[in-house]
Structure 1
Amino acid sequence: MEGYVSELWDFTRISVTQNNLQDLKEIWDQWNDEMKQVFYSNYGDLPYLLDIKVDKHLFQTLTQYWNPAYSCFTFGKVDLVPTWVAAQIKQKRDSKCIPWKNIRNLILAHSDARKRVDVFAFSIYGLVVFPKALGHVDEAVSDLFDRLDKRVIPIPAILVETFRSLSACRRAGEGRFIGCVQLLLAWFHSHFWKVEKVSYRVFSENYSPLKELVATPRQEDVSEERI
């Protein structure tokens, strides 16, 4: 509107520093097909999040178009709204968290295969989908994870964390994004690319947007200036 002065910074310096996922990847790679199938049957395609390479320059650029007032990305006249998805406890700032090393040891040592699968899934939710303090899993994730068996959908919680973190960074002009970068980039990917230029493939029973994104060739030498 005429006379309106934006309260946003012209440029937001945002950090996408994430948890080191190497241990999770190594554990997954060591499992045989039977173990992996147990995981897929219970938790779907979550492991593909471990292989999605985060394009920091792309994410930092997209952040500049986040509109906190309307909780959407604004590109000119186009708006895009995201619509996805007892160890020792330590106090980390305002949260109680479980050290990842404790959870890792539990996955490696537990004798029950189903329990190992459950704890591995819990780790992906805690380190990738709902990251809080680096190297730790927020205790609150355990409550959400427990409710998943009761058919509670995590999408609203994912959206809340995404909106809150993006808006806080944009208003302050800087900050670390605390949310699932992989899911946000996968959502962007679904809007700007076709799957082998055949859009109807998304209706296939076996189609996985995360798997498709992992398999998509990416250009490695794109600078922030070129974006």
Structure 2
Amino acid sequence: MKVDKHLFRALAQFWNLAYSCFTFGKVDLVPTIEDFMALLRCSKFQVDRAYSRAKGDSKCIPWKSLKDLILSHLDTKKRVDVFPLSIYSLVVFPKALGHVDEAVTDLFDRLDKRVTPVPVILAETFRSLNACRKVGKGRFIGCAHLLLAWFHNHFWKVDRVSYLVFSENYLPLNEIVATPRRDDILEEKWMAILQNLQKEDIE
């Protein structure tokens, strides 16, 4: 899924530090564990055993090291295991450009034990939005793709109903990726659109 940088920059400016939510005009909305679980189809995971670990002081592994493992490791299973770990680290929990957060390896190891990653993803989203808003700029360190998927899932009227998100056969991310979207709308235009959102525009 392509990240619309103009939309993302505009969206981040509506993050309300005081209440940890987005404030669009008179409308407040925030991503929830239930939202992200529905988008990622994690509903069968054990929510009460959410895994979390402070990631602020963790070390980084160069992406090149993992890439070399994927290309050259003699054990095919190990190569297959490292590949999704790399995607998880670079897309869901980006730390530094070209590097993988060491803490993600620990989290990834626990996924086989049916521990949901959703609260950690959500916590990183909140933490990063807060950091960007405090300084008025900065690089968002979190899953930008998922946050934009959440945004599109709530804000644009489409020919479906809300309960489909919780249907066994419905895959929200597949629909979002397959839906063509304009990426030539400038940040200023997005700011005007978001500022003028009404309750009836939100699902």
1:58 to 2:7 alignment: yes
Correspondence for 1:211: 174
* Cα distance, 1:109 vs structure 2: 2.3
Contact 1:186 1:213 in 2 (8 A): yes
Correspondence for 1:163: 126
Letter in 1 for 2:21: C
Correspondence for 1:135: 98
Letter in 2 for 1:160: A
Correspondence for 1:24: none
Contact 1:99 1:135 in 2 (8 A): yes
1:125 to 2:93 alignment: no
CA distance in 2, matches of 1:202, 1:94: 36
Query: Between Structure 1 and Structure 2, how many residues are aligned?
Result: 168
Radius of gyration: which is bigger? 1
Contact 1:122 1:142 in 2 (8 A): yes
Correspondence for 2:155: 192
CA distance in 1, matches of 2:30, 2:183: 27
Correspondence for 1:47: none
CA distance in 2, matches of 1:95, 1:202: 35
Give secondary structure in 1 for the equivalent of 2:59.
strand
Letter in 2 for 1:68: L
Contact 1:130 1:158 in 2 (8 A): yes
Correspondence for 2:78: 115
Write 1 or 2 for the structure with the bigger share of strand: 1
* TM-score, with structure 2 as normaliser: 0.75
Q: Please point out which of 87, 102, 117 is paired with 1:154.
A: 117
Letter in 2 for 1:135: G
Correspondence for 1:70: 19
Give secondary structure in 1 for the equivalent of 2:83.
helix
Correspondence for 1:174: 137
CA distance in 2, matches of 1:202, 1:131: 27
Equivalent runs, 1:3-22 vs 2, <5 Å: none
CA distance in 2, matches of 1:158, 1:204: 22
Gaps of 5+ in 1: 1-51, 86-92
Correspondence for 1:41: none
Gaps of 5+ in 2: 38-55, 191-203
Correspondence for 2:47: none
Deviations 1:38-93 (A, max 9, x none): xxxxxxxxxxxxxx1000110111111101221111112322111216xxxxxxx9
Q: Report the CA distance shift for 1:104/1:194 in structure 2 as closer, same or farther (over 3 A).
A: farther
Give secondary structure in 1 for the equivalent of 2:187.
coil
Say what the alpha-carbon RMSD is for the aligned residues. Answer: 1.9
Give secondary structure in 2 for the equivalent of 1:79.
strand
Give secondary structure in 2 for the equivalent of 1:175.
coil
Which is further off, 104-113 or 57-66?
104-113
Letter in 2 for 1:70: Y
* Cα distance, 1:94 vs structure 2: 4.5
CA distance in 1, matches of 2:57, 2:71: 30
* Cα distance, 1:111 vs structure 2: 4.2
Deviations 1:190-222 (A, max 9, x none): 102355x12254344332222211111111321
